[in-house]
Amino acid sequence: MNSSDSLVRARVCEAAHERYCLRFDDRSECDAVPAGALRWSAELPAVGDCVRARRVDPSLALIEAVEPRAASISRRRPGGGGQQVLAANFDRIVVVMGLDGDYNLRRLERYLVQAAAGGAESLVVLNKMDVCPEWTQRLAEVQAIAGNAVAISARESVAPLAEAIRGLTVVLLGSSGAGKSTIANALLGESRHATQPVRESDSRGRHTTTRRMLVELPDGGALIDTPGLRELALWADSHSVDEVFDGIATLALHCRFPDCAHSGEPGCAVSAALETGDLEPARWAAYQKLLAEARYHERSVDRLAAAENKRKWKLIHKAHRHNPKHGW
């Protein structure tokens, strides 16, 4: 019998420090760990992944392989290094931002670029409208950047959000204290996630969600909740930046010279828009910063890929040298 015959398909519904919970087609669940071969692969499973696993006993399985992802959202690992996949196989990314001290358009643009790189539509949820008298103005500001956005007070009602994600698998992203756990509890109809008040000084919160989880929603679909992110180092390319800043990318197409650096050259459409006020200096500065970060990421990925390829070939040559069947 082929060894693959004993593998069964499952979905990762919980992940924390290389410990997983799998949900199988028959709705049963069990704990899981990566098999030895998978630990040497470039990427470990993430919440939402569909995997092939081998049942060791009723309470434990070994994850042997990860199926290709339809969508995923990643970041550069804190402190540098490679890719960290936060969630996989979802329909929509919901970016939660508080209308208190958490409100920051420049940070939102960073989240939107990362969402664009993830391969799924995004929706911005402005939470805590009850503490922000000018919430309508801020909603208009966000809609001008993101397009798809709603404002709610999660402690009172999440009806606009629930309607927008009905039947979909969504991933919640946002800073600690933005209200993701409160939103998750409201959508689930139960207090499954602990919540804590934010600091009055800066509206920042502690991590109340410490692991990534996929849970089914009562009205259909599923929710992937992630810990609040204090750092979101981009794992995105320049095309994702242009997608979020599409107005700037379109402007650049109208410059007189195709290699225009947008620093005062004759016929520069970007410089003209800055002079007339059609393009905000802060928005332009944010675009330049994120584009530089994305280009650095592209170069880094090329270096990482080359290093990984070199490592694999070293292992192959080492195996051949120590295998008597080969005359190396």
Q: Residue 200 sits in a domain of what CATH number? A: 3.40.50.300
β-strand pairing of 8-16 with 149-151: unpaired
What does DSSP assign to residue 157? B
Assign residue 49 the CATH number of its domain: 2.40.50.140
Task: Give the C-alpha separation, 86 to 172, whole Å.
Answer: 10
What pLDDT band is residue 197 in, cutting at 50, 70 and 90?
low
Question: What proportion of the chain, given as a percentage, has pLDDT over 70?
Answer: 81
For residue 26, what are the CA distances in angstroms to 11, 12, 29? 11, 14, 9
Least confident of 33-47, 88-102, 165-179, 296-310: 296-310
Least confident of 71-85, 188-202, 281-295: 188-202
Number of domains in the chain: 3
Contact of 100 with 203, CB cutoff 8 Å: yes
Q: Is residue 322 domain-resident?
A: no
Q: Is residue 171 domain-resident?
A: yes
Task: Give the C-alpha separation, 181 to 242, whole Å.
Answer: 31
Mean pLDDT value across the chain = 84
Q: What angle do CA 66, 68, 70 make, to 5 degrees?
A: 130
Give the residue-averaged pLDDT of 267-272: 95
Contact of 80 with 40, CB cutoff 8 Å: no
Least confident of 146-160, 258-272, 278-292, 302-316: 302-316
Q: Which are the contacts of 316, defined by CB distance < 8 A and separation ≥ 6?
A: none
Which of 178, 203, 225 is at the close of a domain?
225
How far from chain centre, in Å, is Cα 213? 14
* Whether residue 143 has pLDDT greater than 60: yes
- 52 plus 139 within the same structural domain: no
CB-neighbour burial class of residue 17 (10 A; exposed 0-12, middle 13-18, buried 19+): exposed
Q: How many CB atoms lie within 10 A of CB 265?
A: 14
Q: Considering the entire predicted model, what is its pTM? A: 0.79
Of 82 and 262, the structure prediction assigns the larger pLDDT to 262
> 202-233, pLDDT tens digit by residue?
444 444 455 788 999 998 899 998 876 666 77
- 258 plus 309 within the same structural domain: yes
Residue 177's pLDDT is what? 87
Q: Which are the contacts of 317, defined by CB distance < 8 A and separation ≥ 6?
A: 328
* Whether residue 42 has pLDDT greater than 80: no
Residue 199's pLDDT is what? 43
Q: Is residue 165 domain-resident?
A: yes
- 35 plus 80 within the same structural domain: no
Residue 234's pLDDT is what? 78
Question: What proportion of the chain, given as a percentage, has pLDDT over 90?
Answer: 60
Residue 263's pLDDT is what? 87
Contact of 103 with 139, CB cutoff 8 Å: no
Least confident of 86-90, 168-172, 209-213, 258-262: 209-213
Contact of 174 with 152, CB cutoff 8 Å: no
* Whether residue 307 has pLDDT greater than 60: no
Give the residue-averaged pLDDT of 275-279: 94
Residue range(s) defining the domain that contains residue 277: 238-317
Residue 327's pLDDT is what? 45
Task: Give the C-alpha separation, 108 to 251, whole Å.
Answer: 22
Q: Is residue 187 domain-resident?
A: yes
What pLDDT band is residue 189 in, cutting at 50, 70 and 90?
confident
- 196 plus 109 within the same structural domain: yes
* Whether residue 192 has pLDDT greater than 80: no
What pLDDT band is residue 319 in, cutting at 50, 70 and 90?
low
Q: Is residue 167 domain-resident?
A: yes
